[in-house]
Amino acid sequence: MSHSGRNALRAAKRVVVKIGTNALTHATGRFNREHFEALGRDLLWAAQGRELVVVSSGAIALGVERLGLAARPRDIPGKQACAAVGQSRLMQAYEDVFGGQGQAVAQVLLTHEDMRDRRRYLNVKHTLERLLSARVVPVINENDTVSVDELKFGDNDTLAGLVAGVVEADALVLLSDVDGLHTADPRRDASAKLLETVEEVTPEVLSLAGGTSSGVGTGGMATKVRAASSAAEQGIRSVITSGAEPGRLRAVLGGEQVGTLFEPTGARRGSRAAWIAHALRPQGTLRVDAGARDAIVQGKRSLLPSGVRSVEGDFDRGDPVDLADESGEVFARGLASYDAQELRRIAGRRTSDIESVLGYRYLDEAVHRDDLAVL
């Protein structure tokens, strides 16, 4: 039990709240307006004296309802059409709840491309900062209408974890239809016990989350745990709890013992390091020797070609790559100074050999320390 962690939630001044589809709908998948209004009152309460960011699902469910469909479409164009119809209705629902109390809200729709492109990432960050400074509540959703597989976050849990890092939140609250992480799926095993606190997300913790999935939304318990883990690595406390019961958000931010608390495991990163570590998807892996690993982790040094043992994947210069030690454990992520074919040719070579091997030299480093983030 972590009393200090719970007390820290009471002092949180900037909070990201993710609301899952299952927290907004009936068991049939239809939008639950009565419950949404109750949840909206909790959000309004949370916005008093705090800076609040909401990451909200629900657009597709509202689109299904408006179009009179019997079930959520399985094909991508069908889902995108429902999102296009439902997103405006979702924002209207938030406007009805917040606007009636004089609280301004703003719609922000994102794709993964907005996060992996550095200039767009910074634009998102600056826009959100300006909205928060104006006491506006941003309501963020993935731009499902235009997203394609390679540009999708995949689920709003992942998006919420990224957003928490972008705005440097004090706390992330993930509301769903289950009351935290259990020793087993509580909907299938009556003996399942709630884990009140997770100090570190280990493979064993992730295995506990593997069997719990959501019926209407796209994210299961595993995605929530990964989002909490991502936030923890950025120095942010997270709580997974049920959004199906009114008052849970107040309880979390009041320091009460509800849901599962994930304690921070890392320090706050600078904006660029956070972007590299959490917003980018690696396109390949560089296996490095023990000396290179120590130089990067302990000495905060660049990765030189001499430390590269092997190159996996096909990537271009400037693409994100994982750095793994000789056992295969990934310990850092960075931007490659050369493409995969070039790195294969200079791997294990001295810096002075680069030009003679390639016929040119961009940089002395395979990955420069300014483009590295230790994980």
- The CATH number linked to 294 is 2.30.130.10
- Give the range of the structural domain holding residue 252, as residue numbers without chain letter: 3-273
Binding residues for ATP: 18, 176-177, 218-224
End-to-end CA distance of the chain: 26
**Same-domain status, 226 and 338:** no
Helix (H) or strand (E) holding 372: strand 372-374
Of 221, 248, 273, the residue that ends a domain is 273
Measured CA to CA, the distance from residue 372 to residue 167 in angstroms comes to 21
Are residues 292 and 326 located together in one domain of the fold?
A: yes
- CA separation, residue 296 to residues 163, 289, 293 (Å): 27, 11, 5
Segment holding 158, helix H or strand E: helix 156-166
In this structure, are 160 and 24 located in the same domain? Answer: yes
Among residues 273, 300, 329, which one ends one of the domains? 273
- Same domain (yes/no): 53, 36: yes
Instruction: Classify burial at 297, counting beta carbons within 10 Å of its beta carbon; exposed 0-12, middle 13-18, buried 19 or more.
Output: middle
**Percentage above 90 pLDDT, the chain:** 69
- Give yes or no: residues 154 and 41 share one domain: yes
Report the distance separating Cα 135 and Cα 50, nearest Å: 9
My answer on whether 292 and 206 are in the same domain is: no
249 plus 317 within the same structural domain: no
340 and 250 in a single domain? The answer is no
pLDDT confidence of residue 203? 87
Overall domain count for the chain: 2
Domain boundary among 215, 244, 273: 273
User: At 151, is the pLDDT very low, low, confident or very high (cuts 50, 70, 90)?
Assistant: very low
Highest average pLDDT, of 99-113, 219-233, 300-314, comes from 300-314
Residues 299 and 247 in one domain: no
Pairwise CA distance, residues 83 & 333, whole Å: 34
Which residues define the annotated binding site for substrate?
57, 144, 156
Residues 244, 102, single domain; the answer is yes
pLDDT in tens, 9-55: 999 999 999 998 888 888 887 888 888 999 999 999 999 999 999 99
Tell me what the pLDDT averaged over the chain comes to. Answer: 91
C-alpha 140/C-alpha 294 separation (Å) is: 40
- From the annotation, which residues make up the binding site? 18, 57, 144, 156, 176-177, 218-224
